[in-house]
Amino acid sequence: MTETISITRTKKSKIDQVDFDNLAFGTVFSDHMFICDYKDGEWQTPEIVPYGPMEFDPSAKVFHYGQAVFEGMKAYKDEDGKIWMFRPDQNFERINKSSERLAMPAFPEEFFFEGISELLKLEKDWIKTGIENSLYLRPFVIATENGVSASPSNSYRFMIICAPAQAYYSGEVRVVFADTYSRSADGGVGFAKAAGNYAAQFYPTELAKKKGYQQVIWTDAKSHEYLEEAGTMNVFFRVGDTLITAPTSDRILDGVTRKSIIELAESKGIKVEVRPVSVAEILKAARSGDLKEIFGAGTAATINPIAGFGYKEDDFELPKLEDSYASRLKKDLKEIQANLAEDPFGWRYEVK
């Protein structure tokens, strides 16, 4: 398959201009990007080209109907210079599930993996060693057909861009439990990484930010009684010594970090319950002191502890634990991801 990817290298790398010790998440992009167009019912020959602006007709459907899906993945480099990814098969499956829901064509597996491998070989200097460093990969697909009739596009562009990354959030994260707005509904697209799922959260999240919260924890659209996921992460609650997280559904993203944490925590002897989590039980546990932790889990954020939360008129602070589940699981997960520890689960994937 390699011979099918045409590669045009940049004439001048930007890497010397990048301060790798001070990266704001997703603001600096590497030298190259992967592109593959779909037309006449087929994915065309993939290309890797210098990163840069692209031209589209103003009527392209992605601009009007948001027919677009994406993924988030990370590449790590170990001390021997080997490059690793974390469960990329899961992202591959999910992008095609998302595409199916948005009436978009599936992307071929061999193009996905060959594309990542060729791109990462070119961008290997952009992946820094060390447990806090990674290269964030953003695969995405957009509808490129010209014309504003409200129907699925007949042409698409699949792309992968790469951003060197450290922490997603800088500083403490406080969240508010949603009681008015909703992220997703039964039968909707909540499970998909559809671009519009994120756009729809921006306004309520901006309102929350004005009140001092960085994120919203979304509740079920019908009753607002059950906690589902945060805008950029799935969420876990530690009540006593038990970790609780909502089951995935057509409303909730089937997060790769989420499912890995469930397995990892269970393997460490932590009791995990995957079941609906009610606002009422979390408020009760917060008041009684049984609520020990809330943390978010996602590719970009890895595991991010929540410092406190708000619900209607009330605000709650979470205890600052020395040896939290969040910090233990984050360390264990990151060590597996960066090839600093054994990987009993077979999650690590060497990019060659």
Pick 160 or 300: Cβ nearer ligand COI: 300
Reduced to 3 states (helix: H, G, I; strand: E, B; else coil), residue 49 is strand
To ligand COI, the closest distance from the beta carbon of 14 in angstroms equals 22
Q: What is the DSSP string of 74-103?
A: EEEE-TTS-EEEE-HHHHHHHHHHHHHHTT
Characterise 257 by phi-psi region: left (phi > 0), alpha (psi -120 to 50), beta (else). alpha
Q: What tokens appear for 71 in the block? A: 């993924």
Interface positions, 196-255, toward ligand COI (CB under 6 A): 198, 232
Distance, in Å, from the CA atom of 190 to the CA atom of 198, rounded to the nearest integer, reads 10
- The residues near 145 (Cβ < 8 Å, ≥ 6 apart) are 60, 61, 153, 154, 155
299 binds ligand COI (CB under 6 A): yes
169 binds ligand COI (CB under 6 A): no
Pick 5 or 104: Cβ nearer ligand COI: 104
Distance, in Å, from the CA atom of 338 to the CA atom of 116, rounded to the nearest integer, reads 17
To ligand COI, the closest distance from the beta carbon of 40 in angstroms equals 31
Pick 277 or 300: Cβ nearer ligand COI: 300
- The residues near 329 (Cβ < 8 Å, ≥ 6 apart) are 261, 264, 265, 268, 303
To ligand COI, the closest distance from the beta carbon of 85 in angstroms equals 13
* Positive/negative CA dihedral, 308, 201, 98, 35: negative
To ligand COI, the closest distance from the beta carbon of 257 in angstroms equals 7
134 binds ligand COI (CB under 6 A): no
Q: Which listed range, 27-35, 126-134, 211-219, 292-300, lies at the site for ligand COI (CB under 6 A)?
A: 292-300
- The residues near 316 (Cβ < 8 Å, ≥ 6 apart) are 283, 286, 291, 308, 309, 310
Q: What tokens appear for 100 in the block? A: 């199916």
Residue span 55-84 as binding mask against ligand COI, x where in contact by CB under 6 A, dash where not = -----------------x------------
Pick 232 or 339: Cβ nearer ligand COI: 232
To ligand COI, the closest distance from the beta carbon of 336 in angstroms equals 17
Q: Which listed range, 12-20, 182-190, 234-242, 298-306, lies at the site for ligand COI (CB under 6 A)?
A: 298-306
Pick 194 or 300: Cβ nearer ligand COI: 300
Helical ranges in 14-172 per DSSP H? 61-65, 88-101, 109-122
Size of the site for ligand COI (CB under 6 A): 6
User: Are the C-beta atoms of 132 and 166 separated by less than 8 Å?
Assistant: yes
To ligand COI, the closest distance from the beta carbon of 198 in angstroms equals 6
Reduced to 3 states (helix: H, G, I; strand: E, B; else coil), residue 43 is strand
What residues pair up with 174 in beta bridges, in sequence order? Answer: 308
To ligand COI, the closest distance from the beta carbon of 301 in angstroms equals 6
> Applying CB under 6 A, which of residues 105, 115, 298, 305 lies at the interface with ligand COI?
298
Please state the separation of Cα 216 from the chain's center in Å: 16
51 binds ligand COI (CB under 6 A): no
To ligand COI, the closest distance from the beta carbon of 119 in angstroms equals 17
Pick 70 or 309: Cβ nearer ligand COI: 70
Tell me which residue has its CB nearest to ligand COI: 72
300 binds ligand COI (CB under 6 A): yes
Q: Which listed range, 35-43, 216-224, 297-305, 328-336, lies at the site for ligand COI (CB under 6 A)?
A: 297-305
Reduced to 3 states (helix: H, G, I; strand: E, B; else coil), residue 14 is coil
Where along the sequence are the contacts to ligand COI (CB under 6 A)?
72, 198, 232, 298-300
